[in-house]
Structure 1
Amino acid sequence: MAAPLAGRRVLDLGALCAQRPHGLAASMAARLCASYGAEVVRPLPEGGEPLAQAAPLLPAGGSALDRFLNLGKQSGPATGRFDVAIGDDAALSAHAAGVPIRARISVFGPGEDPPMSELGLLALSGLLGIVGEAEGPPARLAGHQPAYAAGLAACTGILAALRAGGEEVVDVSLIDVATWLNWKVAAGVLVLGSSPVRGGARADWYTVPVKDGHVALVYQEKDWPGLRAVVGDARLEEERFSTAAGRRQHRVEFLAILGPWFLARTRAEVTAAAQSRRVPVGPVKWPAELLADAQNRARGFLGADGMPVLPIGWNGRRVTPEMTDAA
């Protein structure tokens, strides 16, 4: 199978966008197009690649973000024929005249594009309200999830427009995408009458320290008998711990009983013991460990150098680097 976008030319205006979320979203959409086999050209401003020194930095120098988002692209001027252009309104107006399909990134929609940071998107969408301890400050989500999701939305619209043919403007609102990511807020309001918030003392799930790191304990009420049996402490049989509400009410005492059992064991030992009772836990892994993770290896998610291999498909088959190389 040939790469689905082989022969298509895409103009990546992410480096020329006025705002960082827009630039990251456009860069991600173009990165996906490159993975589908398109020839992607990325014009740069006078100061050069804006992601060149963006965190996180690699041990040997350079930016991991730059390496990931610009893989398979070529820097160059916005000249020649392009099938697709991706950027904000100003960049598209200045550099994408005559391009039939344009993906336009904005904050609230066309004409509603005030200054906005990624942190602002997280706050406005409610995502900052559900992450972290209720007693402490909000915790920012790792990475660039709103911008990357907007890039995925833009690429999806681009693929549909290419399939339909003709001219098309694919409008992607960053706040719409971020709000969709936090769909539980809308569902919570509709079903419960209020939106979910950070649990803190009301939380049922915990990340607890173990001998060699941490594990995430994400059990549900049906798993409580199994967890109680795994830990094997008679104090957990007390009436005050028999319900989720009781365990929340006596959270400090509850965690004081669990803590020593977890600290005396490694992540592997805790995981094996919990799985023997079908209790869900998740070992928290160091970044270097993800390279050898069995799930990542089975899915082919990371290359030998740690570069993520985007799991994109076309007509029911996974698009591989070999297809795009052949194209």
Structure 2
Amino acid sequence: MKQQPGPFAGRRVLDLSAHAAQVPHALAVAMAARLAADFGAEVVRPAAEGVDRLAKLPPLLPDGGSALARFLLAGRSNGEAGAFDAAIGDEVALAEVAAPLKVRISVFGAGDDPAMSELGLLGLSGMLAAVQPRQGVPVRLGGHQAPYAAGLSAFTALAAGLRAGRPDTVDVSLFDVACWLNWKAAASVLLLGDAAASREQRGGWHTLPAADGHVCLVYMAKDWPALRDMVGDARLSRTAFATQKARGQNLDALDDILRPWFAARSRAEITAAAQARRIPIGPVLSPAELLADRQYAARHFLTSDGAPRLPLLVDGARPDWRRQADKELPADA
């Protein structure tokens, strides 16, 4: 089956993620550019003048390379100088660029771009409330939700600008996007009060150590009886753990009871026991383990070198608009 060229075929996009002054900006720019490449654009990414901020970000693969960088930077070339239809970057990197369409990433908006970490973005937007601090120490959410979402917003702006075909500069605020993602928290504060929402949300979404690593303990109120019976400790039947709200208020005491049961078993034993009771508990896997995972292999989620790709099939085939229209898709696509 032949694949048609993408909607942005023939367009040149300048990816300035290697020249971004901050990691959140670099991640957002790279995500937007990755999507542009997937939709057929020629994406040029000039090399960093010093250390590339994305090159060593975890998770790391067995060969020492960054799986994140291989995913985000797929479909790029160093390219040749010349005209570009669009450029994506932060304010400083875009200052010397003459592309008609510019997508500018900042923290709070044009001219308001202070130093900011991902943890800071999550804290300011209220997203840290999704992961309760343990012993007073805030914990960042896994992955890169805020920059990736900003990258998707930047790509949307890019697509609209290329479609319109007129010069423009579009500003994407990392903070505004994170606040939009977290709109439920704002609604909870307005309707219930911050403390009430926080207490209600505390509960069973965290990791616990197993005999050979960690498992992700994820369960909802409906799963509690099955989890309680699986562990089989009579203390779990106490009033202190009778409701989701009570379990959240007594989370440390709950973990003290659960931890020995999990620590005495392997990840595979825990996962099998949980799946038999339809409890959504699963192992925390390393990048090397993911390469051998049957589910990931069946969905072709990882390439042979470990770079992730979206497990998306269209009419049974994996869309790849970077291919020439006259080139056959591989047999395993």
State the TM-score, normalized to the length of structure 1. Answer: 0.81
| TM-fit CA distance, 1:23 | 2.9
Partner of 2:102: 102
Name the SS of the counterpart of 1:10 in structure 2.
Answer: strand
Q: Distance in 1 between matches of 2:200 and 2:171?
A: 38
Q: Distance in 2 between matches of 1:65 and 1:145?
A: 13
Are residue 14 (structure 1) and residue 17 (structure 2) matched?
A: yes
Task: Note the alpha carbon deviations across 1:153-174, whole angstroms, 9 max, x for none.
Answer: 1112211222333333322111
Are residue 29 (structure 1) and residue 32 (structure 2) matched?
A: yes
Counterpart contact for 2:26–2:53, Cα < 8 Å: no
Distance 1:108 1:281, change over 3 A: same
Alignment of 1:32-47 (within 5 A): 32-44=35-47, 47=49
Structure 2: segments with no counterpart, 5+ residues:
326-333
Name the SS of the counterpart of 1:325 in structure 2.
Answer: coil
Partner of 1:270: 270
Distance 1:48 1:130, change over 3 A: same
Q: Distance in 2 between matches of 1:201 and 1:159?
A: 37
| TM-fit CA distance, 1:298 | 4.1
Counterpart residue type for residue 320 of structure 1: P
Alignment of 1:168-317 (within 5 A): 168-194=168-194, 203-247=203-247, 251=251, 254-310=254-310
Distance 1:151 1:230, change over 3 A: same
Structure 1 window deviating more from structure 2 (129-138 vs 283-292): it is 129-138
Counterpart residue type for residue 323 of structure 2: D
Q: Distance in 2 between matches of 1:65 and 1:214?
A: 22
| TM-fit CA distance, 1:201 | 12
Counterpart contact for 1:128–1:140, Cα < 8 Å: yes
Task: Note the alpha carbon deviations across 1:215-249, whole angstroms, 9 max, x for none.
Answer: 22222222222223323344444555433455456
Structure 1 window deviating more from structure 2 (21-30 vs 250-259): it is 250-259
Q: Distance in 2 between matches of 1:233 and 1:61?
A: 43
Structure 1 window deviating more from structure 2 (298-307 vs 127-136): it is 127-136
Counterpart contact for 1:134–1:199, Cα < 8 Å: no
| TM-fit CA distance, 1:120 | 2.8
Counterpart residue type for residue 288 of structure 1: A
Counterpart contact for 2:23–2:53, Cα < 8 Å: no
Q: Distance in 1 between matches of 2:260 and 2:139?
A: 27
Q: Distance in 1 between matches of 2:64 and 2:16?
A: 25
Q: Distance in 2 between matches of 1:61 and 1:205?
A: 30
Are residue 72 (structure 1) and residue 72 (structure 2) matched?
A: no
Seq. identity, %? 56
Structure 1: segments with no counterpart, 5+ residues:
none
Counterpart contact for 2:217–2:282, Cα < 8 Å: yes
Task: Note the alpha carbon deviations across 1:1-47, whole angstroms, 9 max, x for none.
Answer: 222322111111223334443233222211221222211122345x3
Alignment of 1:28-177 (within 5 A): 28-44=31-47, 47-48=49-50, 50-51=52-53, 54-56=56-58, 59-60=62-63, 63-76=66-79, 79-95=81-97, 97=98, 99-177=99-177
Distance 1:59 1:135, change over 3 A: same
Q: Distance in 2 between matches of 1:260 and 1:120?
A: 34
| TM-fit CA distance, 1:253 | 5.4
Q: Distance in 1 between matches of 2:250 and 2:64?
A: 49
| TM-fit CA distance, 1:200 | 12
Partner of 2:328: none
Distance 1:66 1:229, change over 3 A: closer
| TM-fit CA distance, 1:273 | 2.4
Task: Note the alpha carbon deviations across 1:28-84, whole angstroms, 9 max, x for none.
Answer: 211221222211122345x3563475334655455555444332212245x322211
Name the SS of the counterpart of 1:171 in structure 2.
Answer: strand
Q: Distance in 1 between matches of 2:39 and 2:21?
A: 27
Counterpart contact for 2:199–2:245, Cα < 8 Å: no
Partner of 2:330: none
| TM-fit CA distance, 1:307 | 0.1
| TM-fit CA distance, 1:103 | 0.9
| TM-fit CA distance, 1:267 | 2.3
Q: Distance in 2 between matches of 1:226 and 1:310?
A: 33
Name the SS of the counterpart of 2:105 in structure 1.
Answer: strand
Counterpart contact for 1:129–1:197, Cα < 8 Å: no
- Supply the RMSD in Å over aligned alpha carbons: 3.4
| TM-fit CA distance, 1:179 | 1.9
Name the SS of the counterpart of 1:87 in structure 2.
Answer: strand
Task: Note the alpha carbon deviations across 1:288-314, whole angstroms, 9 max, x for none.
Answer: 222233443344321121101145799
Counterpart contact for 2:200–2:244, Cα < 8 Å: no
Counterpart contact for 1:108–1:174, Cα < 8 Å: yes
Task: Note the alpha carbon deviations across 1:80-116, whole angstroms, 9 max, x for none.
Answer: 2221111123332311x2x332211122112322333
